[in-house]
Amino acid sequence: MHVYIYDEYLNKSKYNRAINRLEIRLTDLGLNGKIIRLGGIKNIKGTIQNEIKLGAKTIIAVGNNQTINKIIGAVIDTEIYSDFQKKTLLGLIPVGNDNSIATSFGINNIDDACNILLARRVEKIDLGLIGNYYFLNQASIQSLGTILHIDDYSLEIMEKGEVRIINLLSDIRETIKSNPHDGKLDILIRTRKRDESLITVKKIKVSNPQEKLIIDDVIEIETPVEIGIMRDKVNVIVGKGRLFD
Amino acid sequence: MFSKENKLEKFKDAETIIGASIKVKGNFQGQGNIIIEGTLEGSLKTEANLFIGDKAKVVANIESKDAIINGEVKGNIKIHGYLALGGSAKIYGDIQYTELSIEKGALINGQFLVLSESDKRKDNKKSDDRVDEVEK
């Protein structure tokens, strides 16, 4: 059974046409399911986990990066699964802006998303973990003044620029290779002086008293924080044009 | 000589790149190729190859399989394979190597020791110690 989670912002009239088109397409493809609208729901995790207990096989986030961020915790919590119950799959239907996560999975628009849901190509993806927050793509912070603590050493960045802690790339133009199945994070540091640094780690501590860490372009948190990775934590329905092998 | 092709061929898929704006402190250990263009203090070890750029400053003991060094190193160097010192290299420490080439202009202040010889000395010392124990 499919359960579609509509983000609150989709209630705005400018998205009516897109949502109508989506629902017609899903009906045509035989992919109808239950719709849950996030606006007004206080316990999002509880609501989704209830659907999983009732047998939902696929939870589909209809919205953007923020939508996925709101629901991912509920989908990966294995305590709610009964014995022999297969893990629920995560699907994505991008609507509006800030959809880098969907792009990473080769899902570029509503029509793509519906066809990809039908094809049901599944990949196990690592999940980044920062305290109580999860991230699929990356966490980023301004580089000047940032200190990274890794194993037995630390890195200090002396120039302005950006530090990106990457699980899954979201930009097709990016030259580095990032693998969301390897249980590792890629740390990419680019400064305004155009020099580039690259390190691969399993966990890292980030601190910067002046700047905040931004998770998947949607959440800002204070540092210091410890960032780790959970291997093959979430099963995602992906497209052929995904940005990884 | 140290052509760009030599550098690129070995380090195309470097696992770790430390850029010029980065300062590393501590014991840095890796398994893949490492490129250092910035500053490192502590120790540096990899099972693969190491490239130290001409503006890099390393204050550490270094150990790797092969290495190309063009920058400044204050510390002892142990290269199990081939070591190439470029014309801008400044080394303040002892160097252990199997194969070596040095470009004109390199500054070296330390002792050279062929790794296979030092290994032999260590082996001889160990066997001497064992003989002494047996005789006692």
The nearest alpha carbon in chain B to A153 belongs to B26
Kindly state whether residues A114 and A186 are assigned to the same domain.
no
Is B24's Cβ below 8 Å from some Cβ in A?
A: yes
* In contact, A5 and A59? CB cutoff 8 Å: yes
Q: Is the pLDDT of residue A239 over 60?
A: yes
Q: Is the pLDDT of residue B2 over 50?
A: no
- Percent of chain A scored above 70 by pLDDT? 96
Query: Looking at residue B54, what DSSP letter applies?
Result: T
Tell me which residue in B17, B21, B28 faces A158 most closely, judged by beta carbons: B21
The closest of A69, A72, A74 to A49, measured between CA atoms, is A74
Instruction: Please tell me whether residue B115 adopts helix, strand or coil conformation.
Output: helix
Kindly state whether residues A101 and A153 are assigned to the same domain.
no
Kindly state whether residues A204 and A96 are assigned to the same domain.
no
Name the domain count of chain A: 2
A chain contacts of residue B21, beta-carbon cutoff 8 Å: 143, 157-159, 161, 189, 191, 193, 195, 197
Kindly state whether residues A104 and A24 are assigned to the same domain.
yes
Cα of A156 vs its chain's centroid, Å? 28
Is B26's Cβ below 8 Å from some Cβ in A?
A: yes
Could you tell me which residues are beta bridge partners of residue A91?
Answer: A60
Length of chain A: 245
Domain of A217?
130-231
Q: What does the pLDDT average to over B6-30?
A: 81
Rounded to whole angstroms, how far apart are CA atoms B29 and B45? Answer: 5
A125 found inside a domain = no
Q: CB A154 to CB B20 under 8 A?
A: no
Kindly state whether residues A74 and A41 are assigned to the same domain.
yes
| The pLDDT value given to residue A85 | 55
Kindly state whether residues A92 and A177 are assigned to the same domain.
no
Is B19's Cβ below 8 Å from some Cβ in A?
A: yes
CATH of the domain at A27: 3.40.50.10330
Mean pLDDT is lowest, of A46-50, B36-40, B88-92, B104-108, for A46-50
A174 found inside a domain = yes
Query: Looking at residue B105, what DSSP letter applies?
Result: T
Rounded to whole angstroms, how far apart are CA atoms A125 and B74? Answer: 43
| The pLDDT value given to residue B135 | 47
Q: Is the pLDDT of residue B76 over 60?
A: yes
| Residue from A151, A153, A184, A193 to probe the interface with B (highest B Cβ count within 10 Å) | A153
Question: Which residue type sits at B73?
Answer: V
Q: Is the pLDDT of residue B7 over 80?
A: no
Rounded to whole angstroms, how far apart are CA atoms B67 and B74? Answer: 15
Is B21's Cβ below 8 Å from some Cβ in A?
A: yes
A238 found inside a domain = no
Domain end position, chosen among A120, A148, A182: A120
Q: Output b/e per residue, A133-162; b: 16+ Cβ within 10 A.
A: bbbbbbbbbbbbebbbbbeebbbbbbbebb
The pair of three-digit structure tokens given for residue B126, joined into one six-digit string: 């160990």
Kindly state whether residues A116 and A134 are assigned to the same domain.
no
Sorted by sequence, the CB contacts under 8 Å of residue B19 that are 6+ apart come out as A189, A191, A195, A196, A197, B37, B38
Mean pLDDT is lowest, of A17-31, B9-23, B40-54, for B9-23
Kindly state whether residues A20 and A98 are assigned to the same domain.
yes
- Can you state the angle between helices A65-76 and A44-53, rounded to 10 degrees? 50
Q: CB B19 to CB A195 under 8 A?
A: yes
Q: Is the pLDDT of residue B6 over 70?
A: no
The nearest alpha carbon in chain B to A187 belongs to B16
- pLDDT tens column, A75-114: 777 555 555 556 789 999 999 988 988 998 999 999 999 9
CATH of the domain at A146: 2.60.200.40
* In contact, A116 and A107? CB cutoff 8 Å: yes
Phi, psi of A71 (to 5 degrees): -105, -15
Q: Is the pLDDT of residue A43 over 90?
A: no
- Give residue B3's pLDDT band: very low, low, confident or very high (50, 70, 90): very low
A30 found inside a domain = yes
Domain end position, chosen among A78, A96, A120: A120
B chain contacts of residue A151, beta-carbon cutoff 8 Å: 26-27, 29
The pair of three-digit structure tokens given for residue A244, joined into one six-digit string: 């990884």
- Give residue A170's pLDDT band: very low, low, confident or very high (50, 70, 90): confident
A244 found inside a domain = no
Kindly state whether residues A16 and A105 are assigned to the same domain.
yes
Q: Which residue has the higher pLDDT, A88 or A245?
A: A88
The pair of three-digit structure tokens given for residue A29, joined into one six-digit string: 């493809």
A87 found inside a domain = yes
Kindly state whether residues A156 and A92 are assigned to the same domain.
no
Q: Could you tell me if the ipTM is greater than 0.85?
A: no
pTM as predicted: 0.83
Domain end position, chosen among A59, A94, A120: A120
Rounded to whole angstroms, how far apart are CA atoms A9 and A75? Answer: 21
* In contact, B47 and B29? CB cutoff 8 Å: no
A181 found inside a domain = yes
Kindly state whether residues A202 and A100 are assigned to the same domain.
no
- Concatenate the DSSP letters of all residues of chain A into one string: -EEEEE-GGGGSGGGHHHHHHHHHHHHHTT---EEEE-TT-S-HHHHHHHHHHTT--EEEEEE-HHHHHHHHHHHH-GGGSPTTPPPPEEEEEE-SS--HHHHHTT--SHHHHHHHHHHT-EEEEEEEEETTEEESSEEEEESTT-EEEETTEEEEE-SSEEEEEESS---TT--S---TTSS-EEEEEEETT--EEEEEES-EEEE-SS--EEETTTEEE-S-EEEEEEEEEEEEE--TT-S--
Is B37's Cβ below 8 Å from some Cβ in A?
A: yes
- Give residue A48's pLDDT band: very low, low, confident or very high (50, 70, 90): confident
The pair of three-digit structure tokens given for residue B110, joined into one six-digit string: 């330390």
| The pLDDT value given to residue B48 | 93
- pLDDT tens column, A198-233: 999 999 999 999 999 999 888 899 999 999 999 988
A chain contacts of residue B46, beta-carbon cutoff 8 Å: none
Is A161's Cβ below 8 Å from some Cβ in B?
A: yes
Q: What does the pLDDT average to over A150-157?
A: 94
